[in-house]
Amino acid sequence: MIKKGGFLLLLVSFFLFFRGPVLATTLPEVDFFWAEGCPHCHDESVFLEKLEDKYPDLAVNAYEISKNQQNVKLLVDTAKRLDVDISGFPTPFTVVGDQYVIGFLNEETTGATIEKMLFGSKSISLPILGDVDSKNVSLPVLTVVVGLLDGFNPCAMWALLFLITLLLGMKDRKKMWILGLAFIITSGLIYFVLMSAWLNVFLLLGFVSWVRIVIGLVALAAGGYNVRDYLINKDGTCKVTENEKRKNIFERLKRITERKEFVLAVGGIILLAVAVNMVELVCSAGLPAVYTQLLVLNNLPSWQYYFYILLYIIFFMLDDILVFIIAMTTLKAVGVNGKYSRFSHLFGGVIMIIIGVLMLFKPELLMFG
């Protein structure tokens, strides 16, 4: 049985690192110094108009410096405050708080930099802690918390627990470890492939508003379902896998582990792990889909997308790994109590509802600095 301390740590992580339902944010103003006849200034002004449409609360202050001496003085004073050399009055010159950009190449490079500057420092209200700078709320921390919550899922554990009971009846410790690890590693790889598929679908569609809206609605629906499951499913068991279906899988596991041909046994475990994880998709597709859309919102380098998915899966599989290692070293079957699964549904549901609301109404708050 996993001790209460582990789940309490998970709850503390939720309250410390994930923002509550009440959010307070103020976008910094953008000071845009430009000159008439400057083509790069024109390109940036078009970009800033799009940015204002995207973020209605954003205020852009435009200062033309080729004809207005007062604006020139403001530029000089701003440059002194930022300790920037502006000899020759380079334009465009864009200031966001204590950050600045000189020049403008295109929306994908300079534009992306300016947009990230907007969210480099946001004040958010957290339960217990009060106002906290959101740049301290990192994407890795959110990845760990959501991955852990996704892992405390009864649908993700039942087959492994039955496999462990079968393995404990074997005399060969080496075979026990190999068969169990084959099941766990295969499960992780399947999840990685499925989340990568979600990611590539969202990357292919791009940052389209209707995609964000659909995923936001999916997050709300999945979150509501999880909260409802917490209220009505008192024993915390998986309702997706019916008893008959479980019985068939149990029989297959038993036949596989009893095979004398070890290579065939490993192959059978791998194939069965694939089948089990496809069944689990019905009950655990919500969080991975919402999380991968959240990754796309952050406009990361390609390798970072897959790094975060891998990090998510490591913590998603952590409970399985711990249960397996404890069982193999103590030769006693252990598991996760149903009440922990219930509470993971509750907090996972709350997280999805919060993310869904933010995706629909404040997607910029899901972009981490």
Summarised one tens digit per residue, pLDDT across range 205-259 is 765 567 778 878 877 887 787 788 778 876 655 554 455 565 666 666 667 766 6
Q: Which fold has domain 30-121?
A: Glutaredoxin (3.40.30)
CA distances from 5 to 1, 2, 20, 219, 234 (A): 11, 8, 23, 29, 21
Distance (Å, whole) CA 184 – CA 29: 50
pLDDT at 15: 39
**DSSP one-letter string for 117-148:** HHTSS-EEEETTTEEEEGGGS-HHHHHHHHHH
* 149 in Cβ contact with 351 (< 8 Å): yes
pLDDT at 93: 93
pLDDT at 2: 39
Q: Where are the domains of the chain?
A: 4-21+138-366, 30-121
Higher pLDDT, 226 or 311: 311
> In the Cβ-directed half-sphere of 122, how many Cα atoms lie within 13 Å?
25
Stretch among 4-8, 245-249, 271-275, 327-331 having the lowest mean pLDDT: 4-8
pLDDT at 136: 45
**DSSP one-letter string for 227-251:** HHHHHH-TT---SSS-HHHHHHHHH
Q: How many residues does the chain have?
A: 369
pLDDT at 4: 42
For the record, the structure tokens of 250 come out as: 């149990």
Give the SS3 label for residue 61: strand
Give the list of residues 6+ apart from residue 100 with CB closer than 8 angstroms, or none: 82, 84, 93, 94
> CA 369 from chain center: how many Å?
14
Torsion angle (degrees, nearest 10) of CA 105, 107, 110, 116: 180
